[in-house]
Each structure stands twice: as C-alpha cells, then as structure tokens.
Amino acid sequence: MPQSRTLYIGMEVHTEAITIAYVAQEPHAAVVSLGALGTRQCDIDHFIRKRQAQSQHLVSVSEAGPCGYWRYRSLPQTGQVCWVMAPSLLPKKAGGRVTPTRRDAIKLAHLMRSGDLTPVHVPRVEDAAIRDLCRAREDALCVLKAATCRRKAFLLRQDIR
C-alpha cells in the first residue's frame, strides 16, 4: 500500500479484545479490517508502530464505553489523534439490528474519514477521580440506609423497642 497522508482507524473496544479497521484518506480507498487485537498497552503500541509505516498521521476513533478512557489518554502521548464517540451520536439506519464488532469498526473508520462524527468531551484524570469518589460515597450512603432499614425491621420483628 503506498504511503497515505492520513490513516483513519476505527476501534470497537471490548474487555477481552479490540476489533480494528482502517481506511486511507484517499476517496476510493477500501476499508481494511484487521480483526481482533489484544487490549494491553503493548498490543496497541505495536499496532501503532506498524501503521506509522503506512502513514505518519493516524486518527483513531472509538465508542465511549465501560472500558475507560486510558486509550484516549495514551495515544496522544505518541503524537496521534484519538476521538471518543458517544454511541447515541453515531448515525444508524432505522430499524437497524445488532451488528458484529467487525462491521462496527469498519463503520467507525468510514464515518471518521467522511467527517460525519463529532467527538465527546473526555474528562481529565482528576475530574474522573472526583466522579468516582462521589459515586462511591453515594453507594456507601445507599448501603448504610438499607442496612439501617433492615436493622430496624429486625428489631421490630423481635419486639425490641
């Protein structure tokens, strides 16, 4: 493949594997699906090094999900662009069915090249830590309230006042 100016990479991320597809900037370039890749940082670094031989400028895109934003934070350190998309903002056909991850990765790469995607804001590490702390506090308060209700109900059943 001749060297392209920009390579658009679509990543469909799951806990066990990342399905990857990429497409060159040229208008009639075919989307290439690479299949599954490991989720470790070294797997992604190896993939990025191989793709930099094809193009110096890489633009990655993935859907926001429960696997975290570590990929978004690590790729710019290598000089690459990474976007995170909200799944609800991706264009879908009416009545669309669940698609395999390979097709999702291809769709992400194709939509990124055409410019039809809008990234979402990714919170800084400090903001995410505060959010996690607030959520943990809320959960602890809910557990405490439920335990208090269970204790009171037990005491009432035993006729202890």
DSSP state of 103: H
DSSP state of 88: G
Q: Which of 54, 40, 43 shows the shortest CA–CA distance to 8?
A: 54
pLDDT digits (tens, 9 = 90+) for 127-155: 989 999 999 999 999 999 999 999 999 99
Do 34 and 67 fall into the same domain?
Answer: yes
In angstroms, what CA-CA distances link 137 with 4, 125, 142, 145?
50, 18, 9, 12
- Over range 53-79, report the average pLDDT: 79
Do 65 and 37 fall into the same domain?
Answer: yes
For 21, the domain range is 6-114
Residue 156 — pLDDT band, cuts 50, 70, 90? very high
Which run of H or of E encompasses 159?
Answer: none
Edge to edge, what strands does the sheet with 81-85 contain? Answer: 32-37, 18-24, 6-13, 57-63, 81-85
Residues 6+ apart with CB under 8 A from 161: 155
| Sign of the CA dihedral with 100 first, then 104, 106, and 107 last | positive
What's the mean per-residue pLDDT of the chain? 84
| Sign of the CA dihedral with 87 first, then 101, 46, and 80 last | negative
Angstrom distance (rounded) from CA 7 to CA 23: 6
At residue 18, the pLDDT reads: 86
pLDDT digits (tens, 9 = 90+) for 68-92: 787 788 777 777 788 888 887 777 7
Do 12 and 54 fall into the same domain?
Answer: yes
Question: Is the pLDDT reported for residue 33 higher than 80?
Answer: yes
Angstrom distance (rounded) from CA 159 to CA 54: 77
At residue 51, the pLDDT reads: 83
Higher pLDDT among residues 155 and 65, named by residue: 155
Quick check: helix, strand or coil at residue 67?
Answer: coil
Do 130 and 60 fall into the same domain?
Answer: no
* Percent of residues, the chain, with pLDDT higher than 90: 20
Whether 1 is covered by a domain: the verdict is: no
Higher pLDDT among residues 65 and 3, named by residue: 65
Q: Which residues are 22's β-sheet partners?
A: 9, 32
Do 102 and 154 fall into the same domain?
Answer: no
pTM value surpassing 0.75: no
Q: Which of 80, 73, 69, 74 shows the shortest CA–CA distance to 112?
A: 80
Structural domains in the chain (count): 2
